[in-house]
Amino acid sequence: MAERAALEELVRLQGERVRGLKQQKAGAEQIEEEVAKLLKLKAQLGPDEGKHKFVLKTPKDFDIAGQFDPMIPDAECLKIICEILHSLQIGDFLVKVNDRRILDGMFAVCGVPDSKFRTICSSVDKLDKVSWEEVKNEMVGEKGLAPEVADHIGDYVQQHGGVSLVEQLLQDPKLSANKQALEGLGDLKLLFEYLTLFGIADKISFDLSLARGLDYYTGVIYEAVLLQTPAQAGEEPLGVGSVAAGGRYDGLVGMFDPKGRKVPCVGLSIGVERIFSIVEQRLEALEEKVRTTETQVLVASAQKKLLEERLKLVSELWDAGIKAELLYKKNPKLLNQLQYCEETGIPLVAIIGEQELKDGVIKLRSVARREEVDVRREDLVKEIKRRTSQPLCIC
């Protein structure tokens, strides 16, 4: 029993090592080596009838005969990216697509040695940031590629377009003779057919320079970028790189299956931090403040010794479903309360004063407009809801 417990602990530690390497984006060979060690340790544990086995299963409509069409989920992922970026309204965008099989086939017909595929791939991936001449100098000067091979690559990777480019490359005698490239081009042609049906083909560009640095991609790869627009007054040019990316990685999940079964996979990710950077930069250029709270109204007092009245009013607003708050000081200065609203973006202030209490009203102040009106206390909830139901900054 003690030996089994020790072995289970080794399995746990090795599993943590594999997960750590994946998070660090280590090389595929290193990950595969550590996974093999993990599987070997698990095999020593032997069968355990008391535990349910985790079995990887492929979709029911997947079979080797080819009835499963991988381009449908790929097209759906691209549709999702377009819908998200359109709804965010952060500017015009373009989704670039390519296929790792086309890249590898292209390198092969251009004469790149197998051992240099990945390193040349990383150079090509820089074409969205630097010129072709700089990329060529890196491939030739730093990575030892023959100049004529680099020139041959340049003839391909500087091309981009739509389905017409795919059809053009299918007629390329050298590229179409390569099995990998031919498979990739065939899938891309089918992908563009689906993208046309989804109504987003005009947002997609077949870009032969798109390489994506991760080795586990096995098919279609894609990356969404914002199109540069002329900077407005006071606005710096945006340069955040891609805002979404993804691709197909059919060989990744199967690495964790003891029987090595192939599990088709495709996925995407949205660059949330980069999108936030864009939004914040544009708000700063427009001199608009970002709200840091959902509070709709601050309950404030104009004189001292009105804490109990503030607590009564904020409780009434909470009961009515209004997001309200108050400062915790017993006798805060009115100016400090108003400044707090301006700093945090609270749009309304409900001000209680001795005269207001006598008159049965609340002074409702618009922070943005710096305008105040007297509202009868029994009408306050209705008035706040009316104002906060309108677009922001109108109140």
The residues with which 269 forms a beta bridge, in sequence order, are 245
Q: For tokens 């309108």, what's the residue?
A: 390
Residue type, 26: A
Burial 179-196 (b: 16+ CB within 10 A, else e): ebbbebbbbbbbbbebbe
Token pair of 64, please? 């080797």
Q: How many CB atoms lie within 10 A of CB 375?
A: 18
Question: How are beta strands 160-161 and 204-207 bridged, if at all?
Answer: antiparallel
DSSP 340-351: HHHHHT--EEEE
Cα-Cα-Cα-Cα dihedral of 31, 214, 153, 143, to 10°?
-60
206 in Cβ contact with 200 (< 8 Å): no
Residue type, 4: R
Is 249 known as a binding-site position? no
In the sheet where 242-248 sits, what is the strand order? 160-161, 204-207, 93-99, 220-226, 242-248, 266-270
309 in Cβ contact with 330 (< 8 Å): no
SS3 98: strand
The residues with which 372 forms a beta bridge, in sequence order, are 365
Dist. CA 2–CA 60, nearest whole Å: 42
Is 63 known as a binding-site position? yes
Is 215 known as a binding-site position? no
Which residue intervals of the chain are DSSP H helices? 2-23, 28-45, 71-88, 100-110, 117-124, 132-137, 147-157, 163-170, 179-198, 272-285, 307-319, 334-344, 354-359, 380-388
Is 216 known as a binding-site position? yes
Sequence ranges of the binding site for L-histidine: 63, 212, 216-217
Sequence ranges of the binding site: 63, 212, 216-217
